[in-house]
Chain A
């Protein structure tokens, strides 16, 4: 069996000019980075632009990547900066009652036959009711499974602040999803 080279090896080869190695990183991390950007920005076109620019910045800057953090954390940090430059809409928070109403409608929709897709849609609505930093911290922890110190690095804050953001985010999401019950 042939093991895939790990991120550090691909990053080193990419730093030396190997575009195929970089394409390996794009394929490995692109789905996660897009998933994160789309929910932080709440706009697919902006997310597309954000992820494209982030990978371009990563390609240009990878020779300066020293391996102090994982490649994944480094990429999320770039995406977070790119998202911040575009993110007017992400700071708008949807009204909780409105979100709960929309989730209730989604639950009641008789044409909804794919439970996972419906749950995802409900969660996306619930996330829109969170302040931007809570949303970002929660996505990085629960969906992308970064460690607390990695999230702190991506968001430019402390692990204590991350714990606080996550606690508030979990409570707020559970409240928003009450519309599903």
Chain B
């Protein structure tokens, strides 16, 4: 066997050994990573809400998370992306919901059902009625992955 082939075999064996290896440094870093992510706050624009005693704000990220949870309760749909946009005065402008809907599902009725449950949830959270046009539902037909029910994230 030539020297060149020996070199290649050696490099290949060393590469396989490295590929199969998990650094002890990662095992030490992992709990810190998970802890920092758990405590990290995502920057999120405030949305104005109202109740009997006055006004309050709720983070748009929290609204989006709650909307996604409501959408995921529907048996035929799953939230792919949710964004809540407020205007310069922190008034809710748009709730955009992208849905994955099971192939063969009644698209119109699923999106109607989702729109009405999203409207109800957003109104419950911000404390006042919003026009139906605020909620925009985009439907993407796909296999629906139903995640296990998630606990609320605040």
Enumerate chain A interface residues (CB-CB to B < 8 A).
5, 9, 12-13, 15-23, 26-27, 30-31, 34-35, 38, 44, 47-48, 51-52, 55-56, 59-60, 63, 116-117, 119-120, 122-124, 126, 142-143, 145, 170, 173-174, 177-178, 180-181
Secondary structure call for the A interface: helix
Question: How many Å from the CB of B143 to the closest CB on chain A?
Answer: 10
- Scoring B3, B10, B21, B38 by chain A CB atoms within 10 A of each residue's CB, the highest score goes to B10
Pick the residue among B14, B68, B153 that contacts A120 (CB under 8 A): B14
Determine the residue in chain A with the shortest Cβ distance to B37: A59
> Are B21 and A19 closer than 8 Å at their CB atoms?
no
Q: What chain B residues lie within 8 Å of A120 (beta carbons)?
A: 14, 17-18, 21
Bound together, the chains give a CA A149 to CA B25 distance in angstroms of 29
Bound together, the chains give a CA A70 to CA B80 distance in angstroms of 16
Q: What chain B residues lie within 8 Å of A26 (beta carbons)?
A: 30, 33-34, 37
Within 8 A of A (CB), among B70-111: 79-83
Bound together, the chains give a CA A51 to CA B27 distance in angstroms of 12
Interchain Cβ contacts under 8 Å between A and B, 22 examples: A12-B81, A16-B79, A17-B61, A18-B147, A18-B150, A18-B153, A31-B23, A35-B23, A35-B26, A38-B23, A44-B25, A48-B29, A51-B26, A116-B20, A116-B21, A120-B21, A124-B18, A142-B19, A143-B19, A174-B4, A174-B10, A174-B11
Q: What chain B residues lie within 8 Å of A17 (beta carbons)?
A: 42, 61-62, 64-65, 68, 153
